[in-house]
Structure 1
Amino acid sequence: MSRRTLLRASALGLVVTPALAACGSGDGPALVRARPSLTHGVAVGDPRSDGALIWARSDVPATLIVETSATESFSQVKRFTGPLLTPATDGTGRIRVNGLPAGELVHYRVRLDGEDGAGSEPVTGVFRTAPTAPADITLLWSGDVAGQGFGINPELGGMKIFSAMAARDPHLFLHSGDVIYADNALEESVTLPDGRVWRNVTAEAKNAPAETLDQFRGNYAYNLTDDNYRAFNAAVAQVVQWDDHETTNNWYPGGTVAAEKGYTERSMDTLAARSWQAFHEWMPLDPKEAVDGRLHRKISYGPLLEVFVLDMRAYKDANDANTAPSGAILGPAQTRWLIDGLRDSTATWKIVAADLPLGVIVPDGKTAFEGPANADPGAPSGRETEIAQVLSAIKANKVRDVVWLTADVHYTAAHHYSPARAAFTDFDEFWEFVSGPLNAGAFGPNDLDPTFGPEAVFVHAPPKPNTSPLEADYQHFGEVRIDGRSAELTVNLRDATGKVLFSQQLAPGRN
């Protein structure tokens, strides 16, 4: 195997630990240590005004090295030495590069230094640091990758929606959860209802629902064998969050996987602990920078934008308890953090990144519910009580320009919430925009719970449930554009080709 072939195979996840390679000489075979390889590309996460997190993975123990430059030629560089990447973290690691100018395009170059001094071939990328003055901002969001048995289809050129998103040249990408589908195995082919055949690239880790740590890790590795995904990761700073399929469908703390699902390990808490470890290893975020050492955090992106990233999974109560007089979807500490953060924010626009929609009814069986909504049209109950606390506090604190973004339900929609239509009226009207899926079965639309007065101003959903990604019309991503001069915010809901399906303009200070 030539070195070029070896590196290509490693990038595809086909070679995991090529520690030694044989090479011939006139005196007979000799053993030399192979150069380390960046197996799954690079990624950028959680940018700040002076830098960002850079993530990578090595196939052998090696030190992560990152160089940054203002130019593609790398004529002048800043060098950052990261951690030793070892099997303890599945070869993954990250480093925060800092001390960079605000509001600028940064070129970065990643390589690995092996234990014997051998270095990897470099991988390059770009990102933008957050501005410190008003400037144009483009943020994309969506969720749901490789779900319902639809993985990487080589006949389509892989997950092309990531190339369509990259073409929008965004500053940020908010991945709203279901980054993987750990509970969805992949077959080599899926025969669709109309007789067409969807074909998958397969992998051992995707042969069955993930239960072990290595299987969870393998789900992330699988997605990053897609060329479109890796190229997107290298060029767009991400803000990632999780939802249920990072662990198992509809999970909640203390839950048990149904016996008919065929799991050997049925404790959702045990599965979640393994999935959390894999998520934090493979995603470009640092749990030490989260408020609770897990996920929820604030991303400040200049005077026009702050993003409040929620965790609506780790603190929720049982799905069958969502009709009680009160309930938990954020938990008391996160609820207070969000209220205080929105109150104290000086940014013009406050985006709340929610991994579950507020008013969409998502059943879990016949009597349980996945999200805040519980199909009771009256006053807030169950998890709605915490949402009501947040909405009331926004009004009481006179916080303006709060927009909610979410995914989860596998269709795209624009929801306007108004107290004039609501059973609960102690809040100001606001917008929630839904997008997805990125590469999964499309569903919907779902009914809306009237408690907070939602109106579906726009909905784009497939005519049949579990419509495959062959129908690009029903794969979606959303786009937020903020004008640096007027501070006007425009939301575009787009399909997998980038076509605009719906637009909504919002002026600052009016909502």
Structure 2
Amino acid sequence: MPHLQVSQPEQESQRQLRAAAAALGRRRFLSITSTAAALAFTTNLPGSAHAAEADARTAVRADPFTLGIASGDPLPGSVVLWTRLAPEPFETGGGLPKARIPVRWEIAHDSRFRRVVRRGTAIAHPELNHAVHVEAGGLAPDRVYHYRFRAGAWTSPTGRTRTAPAPGADLAELRLAAVSCQAYHDGYYTAHRHLAEEDVDLVFHLGDYLYEYAVDASGGARKYTDRRLPDIFNKETVTLEDYRLRYALYKSDPDLRAAHAAHPFLMTWDDHETENNYAGDVPEDGGSSQDFLVRRAAAYRAYWENQPLRRPQRPDGPDMRLHRRLRFGRLAQFDILDTRQYRSDQAYGDGAHHPGPESEDPRRTMTGAAQERWLIDGWHASDALWNVVPQQVTFSERRTDSTPQYKVSMDAWDGYPASRERILAGAEAAGVENLMVLTGDVHKGYAYDIKRDFRDQKSRTMGTEIVATSITSGKDGEDKPANWDAYTGANPHMKFYNGRRGYVTVRLGRQQARADFRTVSAVTKPGAPVTTAASFVTEVGRQGLHQV
């Protein structure tokens, strides 16, 4: 990795964090109160610096809403509203003074704000890079709302969101979308522009919201000719300021801003929000866990600052509880997983390998023991018709070919078969009948039947897995990848395989669920139309995908 220039204050912050982590060793520091302050960046949290409150009319001299607005994590009576003030988004601090800036917000029944139902003032703290998280409460369940922010003389764009239904509501249908993997340097966010126009109730982002890799002055595959990106992006993200600026680059994209403004998002991460293929406290190159946890703390903090997440998700140093459960009436329970923070290190390296004693070790875990218990206990308590698990990496078996020496991905659940078996056994014991797993990561669209035993295709179909392709990662892609015959032949439970960019929409109903794979023909140039590559249904009480 090239030498990275960081400011003197940030050098001191990293020195303190490394010293604390080294004193405690690996992950033990998380429970030690005496060093929690340093590891949680306590010297740079709201209130610790005693920043003065500024008059927004004089502190904000240009449009501060360059990174748009967003909403997320809807409950029956509340929703999170997000923005970040940044008149100069590609500058450290966003072009604002190191002062607290009041931001007014309001939420209304109508887009012209003639029927405002809640309003208030939030403080944009410099310690949080002037990000704002408003947990707007006192709202009616299952209701569309419109929201906006004001800072000084400036008014944000208007966003549209909605609350979750009441706990016992009998919904006829729920419409959702799933997206993942949006490498800025691999193309335009055309799919997000089409997603903004879809009629869905909520969007799940399944990870790789940003990538840590360098972005050159031309924007990589975007090949800008009318502008040049600053050199600050042409390096890998490592420090807190690196990650903050990378979010600014991604959120400056108008198509991504449009998708956020149109729908509430439920967020989870994968690896690239921190570093490719990391596992728990183990970095990709197998280096120092102590140094990596400093980087992880920076990445997790920047993630929270830039997403519409609630207070319980706010990180404590390099630790952040992102797995959580949301209910949408009696129709659906969503158990959102984190398969990065607590996993065992990948067996046999990070790539494809034939299963063996190392990968099949029963002690290995994808979720960690606590999250695994939380998921299975939640299924036992669930009375929802559909139990949906939004998560990151491919759950179903995916063999590379039909030979006895086939390989599987050690980074996916195939590399953690004992962990997958415990999850399937837990679903079976809980009596889960309509299981759907939503997945990202692999830059392809897949549809799978989840078999109780993937070695026996006659075994029970436990549910279905819908894998959303990438928004841009992998560039344009193709309808039929080169390994299509090998993959489909080796995996009869694989009902669909497509290599284009796009997203997936799912309609959950009382009788069936329908998944539509929406794809665009190109992302290396803007403006491609969206089409439906294929549609599948699975019936309530009779799991298994059928193309329609």
Q: TM-score, normalized by length of structure 2?
A: 0.73
Deviation, 1:81, is: 2.8
Q: Deviations over 1:282-304 (max 9, x none)?
A: 01112515898520001212221
Q: 222-231 or 124-133, which moves further after superposition?
A: 124-133
2:495 to 457, 460, 467: 457
TM-aligned CA distance change 1:124 to 1:422, over 3 Å:
same
Report the secondary structure of 2:247's partner residue. helix
The amino acid across from 1:44 in the alignment is S
Report the secondary structure of 1:178's partner residue. coil
Answering whether residue 497 of structure 2 is matched by residue 492 of structure 1, we say no
Contact 1:439 1:475 in 2 (8 A): yes
Matches within 5 A, 1:328-477: 328-359=365-396, 369-374=410-415, 383-419=416-452, 421-422=454-455, 428-441=461-474, 455-461=493-499, 474-477=500-503
Matches within 5 A, 1:257-336: 257-258=284-285, 267-288=291-312, 293-320=320-347, 323-326=359-362, 327-336=364-373
Q: Deviations over 1:130-150 (max 9, x none)?
A: 223314321000101125x32
TM-aligned CA distance change 1:426 to 1:415, over 3 Å:
closer
- Alpha-carbon distance between aligned partners in 1 of 2:330 and 2:423, rounded to the nearest angstrom: 23
Report the secondary structure of 2:272's partner residue. coil
Higher helix proportion: 2
- Alpha-carbon distance between aligned partners in 1 of 2:492 and 2:429, rounded to the nearest angstrom: 20
TM-aligned CA distance change 1:289 to 1:429, over 3 Å:
same
The amino acid across from 2:267 in the alignment is V
TM-aligned CA distance change 1:102 to 1:189, over 3 Å:
closer
Size of the alignment, in residue pairs?
Answer: 441
Contact 1:42 1:54 in 2 (8 A): yes
Residue 181 of structure 1: aligned partner: 211
2:273 to 220, 238, 246: 246
Report the secondary structure of 1:38's partner residue. coil
Q: TM-score, normalized by length of structure 1?
A: 0.78
Report the secondary structure of 2:183's partner residue. coil
TM-aligned CA distance change 1:203 to 1:437, over 3 Å:
farther
Deviation, 1:20, is: 11
Deviation, 1:422, is: 2.4
Contact 1:184 1:209 in 2 (8 A): yes
The amino acid across from 2:493 in the alignment is E
Q: 238-247 or 291-300, which moves further after superposition?
A: 291-300
Contact 2:280 2:344 in 1 (8 A): yes
Contact 1:304 1:487 in 2 (8 A): no
Q: Deviations over 1:447-481 (max 9, x none)?
A: 87999x862111012xxxxxxxxxxxx11201101
Matches within 5 A, 1:218-233: 218-233=245-260
Residue 469 of structure 1: aligned partner: none
1:94 to 133, 137, 149: 133
Residue 206 of structure 1: aligned partner: 233
Residue 51 of structure 2: aligned partner: none
The amino acid across from 1:433 in the alignment is I
TM-aligned CA distance change 1:398 to 1:448, over 3 Å:
farther
Contact 1:255 1:268 in 2 (8 A): yes
Could you tell me which runs of 5 or more consecutive residues in structure 1 were left unpaired when the two chains were aligned.
Answer: 1-18, 22-30, 113-117, 152-157, 375-382, 462-473
Deviation, 1:93, is: 1.8
The amino acid across from 1:143 in the alignment is S
Could you tell me which runs of 5 or more consecutive residues in structure 2 were left unpaired when the two chains were aligned.
Answer: 1-53, 87-95, 349-357, 401-406, 521-528, 544-548
1:45 to 72, 92, 95: 72
Deviation, 1:395, is: 1.1
Residue 104 of structure 1: aligned partner: 143
- Alpha-carbon distance between aligned partners in 2 of 1:88 and 1:65, rounded to the nearest angstrom: 19
- Alpha-carbon distance between aligned partners in 1 of 2:224 and 2:397, rounded to the nearest angstrom: 30
